[in-house]
A and B are shown apart, each in its own frame.
Chain A
Amino acid sequence: MNDNDKEAFRQQVREWLEANCPPSLRTPTPEDEMVWGGSRVEFKTEDQRLWFERMRDRGWFCPDWPLEYGGGGLSSDETTILEGELRRLGCRPAQINLGIWMLGPVLLEFGSEEQKRRLLPPMARGEIRWCQGFSEPGAGSDLANIGTTARDAGDHFVVDGTKIWTSYGDKSDWMYALVRTDREASKHRGISLVVLDMHAPGVSVAPIDLISGKSSFCQVFFDGVEVPKENLIGPLNGGWALAKALLQHERSAMSKFGEFSLPTHFDLMPLIRDYLPEAQTPAEVALEARANACAMEEAAYGLTVQRMTDEARAEQDVTGLAAIMKLVHTEQERVKFEVLLDAMGYRALGWAGAPFTDREQAITKAWLNSFTQTIAGGSSEVQLNVIAKRVLGLPDAGKGASS
């Protein structure tokens, strides 16, 4: 695509967005106003419906998918331009859909032609809400230890077991799940990826309350759930490679998610000032110093995000930097909220209602929530293992002596 073509396309996209994205949706999205695609899609305003339908009809929920699967058929250059223009205009996402972000790319790469034609178009129209069935009570950091089984019963599998930490499991239509299809094989070799209907008999869902209160997490139970064999994605017992590919997409999906949502970011130093205008006692001076160090660490992290972008643009290898991002950010957040709570004192102890302000309660909940961040999506300890082995090249335990 030459520069003239790009500019022409940009102009075209810009005009269409100006004409079609309702002005009321050109603002950050509050959490309770996100539109989740699926069979039970809900719109709070008529504008939300219009924006959803217009984007859907252009195939722009998944602009870079081929037209025959319901995508927009755009090239990667065109997709970049579209995303840039959406950002420029501050358009809210017309819908949030984990299927499109995570399962879709894996289906495109590994699915059969029949599966692509059957599963992708409804996904691309935002008709199905998807959830992810990976973690289990006995398979957290050690994901390959899953125990949910899919027994061969001729033309279908029979699935028994349970999945945990399933976001919005209670609201989803379909799940993509890792199941054990060979109990004799080694841990990683007996796993398959299947998709299953959450409305099928034998599926039940229970929400999970967290230390921070209500959450979107659920536990899902399977009791003799029949899954047709055509819902096996990729080769039988070949699910582990697909799971790894999916987790790659999870990371970029999470960053997209973060980009859309309203900032829940709390700017530390101004908040500290509210509760500690002038440090006087030695304890207050020490607290202020801790807060300042926290703000400085946060600045160093922000510069590192920027440096990674600059290095990627200069075509340098950024794997060593990418590997630290999740670890640093989540660990910093936890420390930051501890400092903030210390400064707030009793004001940080409210669970609900007066005299605690909404902001105070939000900070307290965010502190409790910060604990989930250093665990979910690869705990800090797993991140450190990855850095030690893949970035620093330190030897594996037990294998070092023989290698």
Chain B
Amino acid sequence: MSLVYSEEQRLLADTARDFLAEQSPVSAQRALRDRGDALGFSPELWASMVELGWSAIPFSEAYGGLEFGVTGLGAVCEALGHHLSPSPMVSSVALAGAVLEQAGSADQRNDWLPLLIQGEARLALAVDEGARHDPRRLALSARRDGDGYRLTGEKVMVLDGHGADGWIVAARTSGEPGEAAGVSLFLVPADTPGVTLTRLSLIDARNAVNLRLDDVTLEAGCRLGEEGEGLAPLEAALDRGRVCLAAEMLGACDALFAMTLEYLRTRVQFDVPIGSFQALQHRAAWLHVELALARSTLMAALDALDRDAHDAPALVSLAKWKVGTMADRVGNEAVQLHGGIGVTDELDVGLYLKRLRVAQASLGDADYHARRYAELARS
């Protein structure tokens, strides 16, 4: 077990950060927002990321992957967070890729993983139905119909769902909302009749949709994994996505904290830099503390997933909780410590604040993961 990046992982993180500083500074994200870009990310930039091998990081060499682990993925996601660079890394590579790996048949993996890795196709994961993340409570129904299934129901906050080549939909083939058994996973290709998309306009201007399925007919071959046993592979995939979001938040908070410190050192009021005031120094010192603690939980979660450790789910929840509460605090303090200019759109601080809020709420917020941690610790 190691809580530091290896030499190679560090190199990857540094390279990613330099590349994004050049190709995808915060101004690029601002431009996408200002022109109301439907995709929410740049396909050209995504193609470059694929070329750099980022989409291949967690996958087996059998499909053209690099086998560079979840920690490698985390290193890249930190860099993406640092520059607020939008990409389908979390939605397609971490989440959908992991579902295919965990639950897909040999044929399904052979059909889809090389496409995902080469950037020729993109999938999105549809889990949530209510206002708050809670996969166990999902209710979207999938009824047996001859050899296939009929799916009816609604999904919300499907990350990068717009323009995807397909959606992995978690549905209930049996059991009641709240029960672990009875969840099944389906791959719904984008051209399937009966699917309606509503593109959401979110505070972070990224790509998310609500999905409506009206009596959508699927062949049995569209099912990923065993019927009714989808929750375990789904949770495993979600954990990979959660830790990637935590890495992204940590990267963003590092950048935001650095901006805030710079402001404290240079902003002059009462003839002195405001950073010389003890009331502000102590608030900044606490942010340093929170960032340090949060990083430890993130490194432990990445490491545990790569080792396939039995406590990996608990450590992922610990990380999503700790990084999430830290991110709330860093975001709030960054705005307040910047004072008046902190609430202007001109400053990048607000862009970070909004992205952090979305990442915090996605795939389980701090409250959700505190509860999950308690349950896992008790069992």
Which residues of A lie under 8 Å from residue B374 when comparing CB positions?
A: 288, 292
Whole-angstrom distance from the CB of B8 to the nearest CB of chain A? 13
Whole-angstrom distance from the CB of B290 to the nearest CB of chain A? 9
Give the CA-CA distance A303 to B373 in the complex, in Å. 16
User: Quick one: which of B273, B292, B300 contacts A324, CB cutoff 8 A?
Assistant: B292
Residue interface bits A374-403, CB-to-B below 8 A is 1, else 0: 000000010111011101111111111100
Give the CA-CA distance A301 to B299 in the complex, in Å. 13
Q: Please tell me if B318 contacts chain A, counting CB pairs below 8 Å.
A: yes
Q: Please tell me if A120 contacts chain B, counting CB pairs below 8 Å.
A: no
Segment 285-326 of A: residues with Cβ below 8 Å from B: 288-289, 292-293, 295-297, 299-301, 303-304, 306-307, 310-311, 314, 316, 320-321, 324
User: Quick one: which of A310, A314, A387, A400 contacts B285, CB cutoff 8 A?
Assistant: A387
Q: Please tell me if A327 contacts chain B, counting CB pairs below 8 Å.
A: yes
* Stretch in B67-75, B246-254, B275-283, B327-335 touching the partner: B275-283
User: Quick one: which of B278, B285, B292, B370 contacts A304, CB cutoff 8 A?
Assistant: B292
Whole-angstrom distance from the CB of B281 to the nearest CB of chain A? 4
Which residues of A lie under 8 Å from residue B141 when comparing CB positions?
A: none
Query: Are B284 and A320 in touch, CB under 8 angstroms?
Result: no
Whole-angstrom distance from the CB of B280 to the nearest CB of chain A? 8
Q: Please tell me if A269 contacts chain B, counting CB pairs below 8 Å.
A: yes
Query: Are B281 and A394 in touch, CB under 8 angstroms?
Result: yes
Which residues of A lie under 8 Å from residue B2 when comparing CB positions?
A: 310
Give the CA-CA distance A395 to B282 in the complex, in Å. 13
Chain B contact patch, size range: 35 or more
Q: Please tell me if B343 contacts chain A, counting CB pairs below 8 Å.
A: no
- Among A289, A310, A385, A394, residue most surrounded by chain B Cβ atoms (within 10 Å): A394
User: Quick one: which of A269, A320, A395 contacts B273, CB cutoff 8 A?
Assistant: A395
Give the CA-CA distance A381 to B268 in the complex, in Å. 24
Give the CA-CA distance A157 to B224 in the complex, in Å. 86
Whole-angstrom distance from the CB of B179 to the nearest CB of chain A? 22
Q: Please tell me if A208 contacts chain B, counting CB pairs below 8 Å.
A: no
User: Quick one: which of A269, A300, A392 contacts B293, CB cutoff 8 A?
Assistant: A300
Give the CA-CA distance A391 to B278 in the complex, in Å. 15
User: Quick one: which of B277, B278, B296, B322 contacts A296, CB cutoff 8 A?
Assistant: B322
Query: Are B318 and A296 in touch, CB under 8 angstroms?
Result: yes
Give the CA-CA distance A391 to B288 in the complex, in Å. 9
Q: Please tell me if A328 contacts chain B, counting CB pairs below 8 Å.
A: yes
Whole-angstrom distance from the CB of A60 to the nearest CB of chain B? 33
Give the CA-CA distance A397 to B322 in the complex, in Å. 32
Whole-angstrom distance from the CB of A260 to the nearest CB of chain B? 26
Q: Please tell me if B294 contacts chain A, counting CB pairs below 8 Å.
A: yes
Query: Are B4 and A316 in touch, CB under 8 angstroms?
Result: yes
Q: Please tell me if B272 contacts chain A, counting CB pairs below 8 Å.
A: yes
Query: Are B284 and A300 in touch, CB under 8 angstroms?
Result: no
**Chain A residues within 8 Å of chain B by Cβ, number:** 42
Which residues of A lie under 8 Å from residue B373 when comparing CB positions?
A: 292, 296
Q: Which residue of chain A is the closest to B264 with respect to CB atoms?
A: A394
Residue interface bits B161-191, CB-to-A below 8 A is 1, else 0: 0000000000000000000000000000000
Q: Please tell me if B3 contacts chain A, counting CB pairs below 8 Å.
A: yes
Give the CA-CA distance A399 to B294 in the complex, in Å. 33
Give the CA-CA distance A388 to B277 in the complex, in Å. 10
Q: Please tell me if B107 contacts chain A, counting CB pairs below 8 Å.
A: no
With known contacts A269-B377, A292-B374, A397-B276, A385–B281 Cβ distance under 8 A: yes
Segment 246-275 of B: residues with Cβ below 8 Å from A: 261, 264-265, 268, 271-273, 275
Which residues of A lie under 8 Å from residue B286 when comparing CB positions?
A: 384
User: Quick one: which of A310, A320, A393 contacts B292, CB cutoff 8 A?
Assistant: A320
Give the CA-CA distance A288 to B374 in the complex, in Å. 10
Residue interface bits A238-271, CB-to-B below 8 A is 1, else 0: 0000000000000000000000000000000100
Q: Please tell me if B122 contacts chain A, counting CB pairs below 8 Å.
A: no
Give the CA-CA distance A339 to B238 in the complex, in Å. 32
Query: Are B281 and A299 in touch, CB under 8 angstroms?
Result: no
Q: Please tell me if B321 contacts chain A, counting CB pairs below 8 Å.
A: yes
Query: Are B296 and A314 in touch, CB under 8 angstroms?
Result: no
Give the CA-CA distance A302 to B318 in the complex, in Å. 12
Q: Please tell me if B295 contacts chain A, counting CB pairs below 8 Å.
A: yes
Whole-angstrom distance from the CB of A129 to the nearest CB of chain B? 37
Query: Are B3 and A400 in touch, CB under 8 angstroms?
Result: no
User: Quick one: which of A288, A289, A392 contacts B261, CB cutoff 8 A?
Assistant: A392
Query: Are A400 and B370 in touch, CB under 8 angstroms?
Result: no
Q: Which residue of chain B is the closest to A391 with respect to CB atoms?
A: B288
Query: Are A388 and B284 in touch, CB under 8 angstroms?
Result: yes
Query: Are A303 and B288 in touch, CB under 8 angstroms?
Result: no
Query: Are A394 and B276 in touch, CB under 8 angstroms?
Result: yes
Q: Which residue of chain B is the closest to A403 with respect to CB atoms?
A: B273
Give the CA-CA distance A401 to B270 in the complex, in Å. 9
| Interface of B toward A, CB cutoff 8 Å | 2-4, 261, 264-265, 268, 271-273, 275-278, 281-282, 284-286, 288-289, 292-297, 299-300, 318, 321-322, 370, 373-374, 377
> Can you offer 22 A-B residue contacts whose CB atoms are under 8 A?
A289-B370, A296-B373, A299-B318, A300-B297, A300-B318, A300-B322, A303-B297, A303-B300, A306-B300, A307-B3, A307-B299, A311-B4, A321-B292, A328-B289, A383-B285, A387-B289, A392-B284, A394-B275, A397-B278, A398-B272, A400-B273, A401-B271
| Interface of A toward B, CB cutoff 8 Å | 269, 288-289, 292-293, 295-297, 299-301, 303-304, 306-307, 310-311, 314, 316, 320-321, 324, 327-328, 381, 383-385, 387-389, 391-401
